[in-house]
Amino acid sequence: MPPRSPDLPSVALPADKELVLKVVPMPADVNANGDIFGGWVMAQVDLAGSVLPQRISHTRMVTVAVNEFIFKQPVRVGDILSFYAGVQHVGRTSVAVDVEVFAERFSDQGKYVKVTEARLTYVAIDATGKPQSLPDTEQTRAWREKLQAQAAAAKS
């Protein structure tokens, strides 16, 4: 087992994002240093990030970009990882999502440490794999209106 990093202060979980996934990494997921392999974390972030675009689009969505990915702290076997996602942009064919990952340490339950943050972009595609417009649904309109209101509030 890797040595414990110094205790970090517990952080508040994001109120502006939705909990979309919880998972506990296992010993099979470790790298040569004894921490959880970064590629495993990336795969979980991609799964978590895809939840909201699926809900918005009700159509096939694919990951087209990992715009940013920051590993802030190591993840350990037994950590309870909580993945929070928030839609940042709804375009004609695409949805951009921010994902924040928090670890509840096995030895320190009830305290959370931010371990990863990322922004990913998903695109709606048709049966031939070509980009297609997001359907004009109540959910799509609601997300666009919410994001426009947030942008307007930020300007004032």
Q: How do residues 72-129 score in pLDDT, each as one tens digit?
A: 999 999 999 999 999 999 999 999 999 999 999 877 777 999 999 999 999 999 999 9
CB atoms within 10 A of CB 64: 14
3.40.50.10860, 3.30.1490.20, 3.30.420.130, 3.10.129.10: which CATH number matches 18-155?
3.10.129.10
Residue, of 9 and 13, whose pLDDT is higher = 13
What is the band of 20 on the pLDDT scale with cuts at 50, 70, 90?
Answer: very high
- Of 29, 43, 117, 143, the closest CA to residue 79 belongs to 29
Task: Report how far residue 93's alpha carbon sits from residue 140's, in angstroms, rounded to the nearest whole number.
Answer: 11
Task: Report how far residue 103's alpha carbon sits from residue 81's, in angstroms, rounded to the nearest whole number.
Answer: 5
Task: Report how far residue 49's alpha carbon sits from residue 122's, in angstroms, rounded to the nearest whole number.
Answer: 9
What is the value of pTM for the model shown?
Answer: 0.89
Residue 125: strand, helix, or coil: strand
Task: Report how far residue 21's alpha carbon sits from residue 118's, in angstroms, rounded to the nearest whole number.
Answer: 15
Task: Report how far residue 35's alpha carbon sits from residue 148's, in angstroms, rounded to the nearest whole number.
Answer: 40
For all residues of the chain together, what is the average pLDDT?
92
- Domain residue spans in the chain? 18-155
